[in-house]
């Protein structure tokens, strides 16, 4: 079967499921109907810093169960941080001392992982730091990283996909003196808007339909309802001409192509690890699960009153996910800075070692094992790679396509931000020249990344960020010594 056909087969299988079990698919409302009925976009609240002086950052969060009405008349069992679905936005500063008390009020273990953060291994919140049901976890470290939009989510062995699906995810924003000075929209919830984009599928009684059968594990659990900040088709009424959107693909496994109706162009200003050197004009952007992008959307240049955020799911559906309405009296649009932050390109000749990784959907060996990295599945007792601290390495990662079955994969590393050296030998495009912690690797492609490993010693994870793949064992451990 060709890749195309396989994707099609995957889609029709999903469609079958939706016919039998699910509520009507997308709810596309006409623009007019929409304008009156769209619920206003919910902005995740900023988590209150409990340090009275504000010098250090001290936060408390409960990991809890909840109920939320997504579909009319049905209440869905959920998880959330300090609430029933998703979590508050944590905002910290470079150089700030950070501490938190995380209380696990679930009836199962969880962890809290800071995705994208340079963090001591013991506070990484990966599978090695479980928080038992009913107990607390008190991470404590110093933020040592430039301004960036990161996020947090659970990462307990084999439970990541299910817990994220239930609602455990939130944003983690770092600011610094540099981002303070840049002339960009920065009023949180007004012109600096976080958008956590996720899809879900529901059972007839309105529960999340999360399963890890063979089909779902290989293809990822694709939903047929699209949520933005936990809402179906919300609307946002802009009050300024220029919007900064912090996009997070917070889905389990979906790869999104994101654009705006009418082909409205935007400028990308930051990737996973922080600002790009200069704004990059784009009209679509592809984000795989876990990736972020900050973009500037100039509504004052738009002829129409509204634009739709369009989210297309790889191998799935197209959603008009959210409506954005121009300000009635748009402020004169703020000028967009020509340069953002110098991003020195890391040099291949500085790398002390090159490692090769082969990601396979179905390995060709005798065993025909599924979802492996270098033929292996995750083993918490095994250290896969040992890396000297403060050295630079090149990792060459290949998504080996097989005749049998192939899927896009991604590679995410904990603790570090890396750069893409090339894709299939070609230099990266402008929007991929910045720092990244997660990189999408389509079938048959090979990507070289260059990674500056830091000063923290200890054990961290690398894995495919399609969470069903990760939970199935498409993950390894590296130890920095």
Q: Is 370 in the site for ligand C2O (CB under 6 A)?
A: no
290, 316, 408, 434: residue in contact with ligand C2O (rule CB under 6 A): 290
Structure tokens at 14: 């999903």
- Residue 290 interacting entry, from ligand C2O, Cu ion, none, C-beta within 5 to 8 Å by type: ligand C2O
Give the count of alpha carbons within 13 A of 60, CB side only.
Answer: 5
**Nearer to ligand C2O by C-beta: 210 or 236?**
210
Regarding 155 and contact with ligand C2O (CB under 6 A), the answer is yes
Distance between CA atoms of residues 71 and 27, nearest Å: 11
Residue 461 touches ligand C2O, criterion: CB under 6 A: yes
314, 222 contact by CB (below 8 A): no
**CA atoms in the 13 A half-sphere facing the CB of 209:** 20
Instruction: Report the partner that residue 464 touches, choosing among ligand C2O, Cu ion, none (CB closer than 5 to 8 A by kind).
Output: Cu ion
By CB under 6 A, which span of 38-46, 375-383, 419-427, 461-469 interacts with ligand C2O? 461-469
- The interface with Cu ion within residues 331-390 (CB under 5 A) comprises none
Contact between 153 and ligand C2O by CB under 6 A: the answer reads yes
Helix or strand holding residue 455 (H, E): none
Using the minimum distance from each CB to Cu ion, give the nearer residue, 287 or 464.
Answer: 464
For Cu ion, the binding residue among 310, 466, 467, 480 (CB under 5 A) is: 466
Q: Which is nearer to ligand C2O, 166 or 414 (CB)?
A: 414
The answer to the question of residue 220 lying near ligand C2O (CB under 6 A) is no
Segment near Cu ion (CB under 5 A); pick from 26-34, 81-89, 186-194, 408-416 = 408-416
Q: What are phi and psi of 166, to 5 degrees?
A: -70, -15
Residue 412, SS3 per DSSP: strand
If binding is defined by CB under 5 A, does position 423 make contact with Cu ion?
no
Scanning the structure block, which residue is given the tokens 């962890």? 111
- Of 341 and 412, which CB lies nearer to ligand C2O in the complex structure? 412
155 makes contact, choosing from Cu ion, ligand C2O, none, with CB < 5 to 8 Å by partner type, with ligand C2O
Residue 125 binding ligand C2O, by CB under 6 A: no
The closest alpha carbon to 70, from 205, 252, 245, belongs to 205
Among 15-23, 96-104, 248-256, 458-466, the segment contacting ligand C2O (CB under 6 A): 458-466
What b/e string do you get for 249-273 counting C-beta neighbours within 10 Å, with b at 16 or more?
bbbbbbbbebbbeeebebbbbbbbb
Binding segment toward Cu ion, per CB under 5 A, in 99-107, 134-142, 275-283, 458-466 = 458-466
Q: C-alpha distances in angstroms, 77 versus 68, 69, 240, 324? A: 7, 9, 37, 29
Q: How far is CA 237 from CA 184, 240, 303, in A?
A: 19, 9, 16
Binding mask 113-142 for Cu ion (x = CB under 5 A): --x---------------------------
Of 201, 326, 409, 414, the residue at the interface with ligand C2O (CB under 6 A) is 414
Angle at 108 between CA 376 and CA 460, to 5 degrees: 35
**Binding-site partner at residue 153 among ligand C2O, Cu ion, none, CB < 5 to 8 Å by type:** ligand C2O
Encoded one letter per residue, x for contact with Cu ion by CB under 5 A and - for no contact, window 225-264 reads ----------------------------------------
Residue (70 or 460) nearer to Cu ion, CB: 460
Return all residues near 194 (Cβ < 8 A) that are at least 6 apart.
Answer: 43, 44, 89, 149, 171, 188, 229, 245, 246, 248
For 470, the 3-state DSSP assignment is helix
The radius of gyration of the chain from alpha carbons, rounded to an integer in Å, stands at 21
- Nearest to 236, CA basis, from 41, 472, 13: 41
Contacts to ligand C2O by CB under 6 A: 113, 115, 153, 155, 290, 412, 414, 461, 463, 465
Contacts to Cu ion by CB under 5 A: 115, 409, 414, 464, 466, 469
């Amino acid at each position: 079967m060709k890749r195309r056909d396989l994707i099609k087969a995957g889609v029709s299988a999903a469609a079958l499921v939706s016919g039998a079990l699910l509520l009507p698919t997308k709810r596309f409302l006409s623009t007019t109907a929409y304008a009156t009925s769209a619920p206003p976009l919910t902005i995740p609240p900023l988590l209150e810093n409990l340090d009275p002086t504000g010098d250090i950052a001290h936060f408390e969060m409960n990991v809890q169960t909840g109920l939320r009405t997504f579909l009319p008349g049905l209440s869905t069992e959920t998880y959330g941080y300090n609430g029933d679905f998703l979590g508050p936005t944590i905002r910290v500063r470079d150089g700030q001392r950070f501490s938190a008390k995380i209380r696990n009020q679930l009836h199962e273990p969880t962890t809290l992982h800071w995705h994208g953060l340079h963090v001591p291994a013991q506070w990484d919140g990966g599978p090695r730091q479980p928080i038992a049901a009913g107990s607390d976890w008190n991470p404590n470290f110093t933020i040592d990283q430039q301004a960036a939009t990161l996020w947090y989510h659970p990462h307990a062995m084999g439970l990541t996909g299910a817990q994220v699906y239930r609602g455990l995810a939130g944003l983690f924003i770092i600011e610094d003196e540099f981002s303070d000075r840049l002339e960009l929209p920065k009023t949180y919830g007004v012109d600096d808007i976080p958008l956590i984009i996720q899809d879900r599928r529901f059972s007839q009684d309105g529960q999340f339909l999360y399963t890890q059968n063979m089909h779902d594990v290989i293809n990822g659990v694709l939903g047929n309802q699209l949520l933005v900040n936990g809402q179906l088709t919300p609307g946002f009424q802009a009050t300024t001409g220029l919007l900064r959107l912090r996009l997070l693909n917070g889905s389990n496994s979906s790869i999104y192509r994101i654009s705006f109706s009418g082909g409205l162009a935007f400028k990308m200003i930051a990737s996973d690890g922080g600002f790009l050197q200069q704004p990059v004009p784009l009209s679509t952007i592809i984000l795989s699960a876990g990736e972020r992008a900050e973009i500037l959307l100039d509504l004052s240049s738009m002829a129409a009153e509204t634009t739709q955020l369009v989210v297309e799911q790889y191998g799935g559906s197209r959603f008009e996910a959210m409506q954005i309405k121009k300000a009635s009296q748009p402020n004169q649009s703020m000028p967009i800075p020509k340069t953002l932050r110098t991003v020195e390109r890391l040099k291949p000749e500085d790398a002390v070692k090159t490692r090769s990784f082969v990601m396979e959907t179905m390995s060709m060996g005798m065993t025909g094992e599924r979802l492996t990295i270098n033929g292996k599945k995750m083993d918490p007792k095994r250290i896969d790679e040992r890396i000297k601290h403060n050295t630079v390495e090149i990792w060459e990662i290949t998504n080996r396509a097989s005749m049998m079955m192939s899927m896009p994969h991604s590679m995410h590393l904990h603790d570090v931000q890396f750069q893409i050296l090339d894709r299939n030998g070609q230099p990266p495009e402008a929007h991929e020249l910045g720092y990244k912690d997660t990189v999408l690797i389509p079938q048959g492609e090979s990507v070289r990344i260059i990674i500056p490993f830091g000063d923290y010693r200890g054990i961290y994870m690398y894995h495919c960020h399609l969470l069903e793949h990760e939970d199935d064992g498409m993950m390894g451990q590296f130890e920095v010594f």
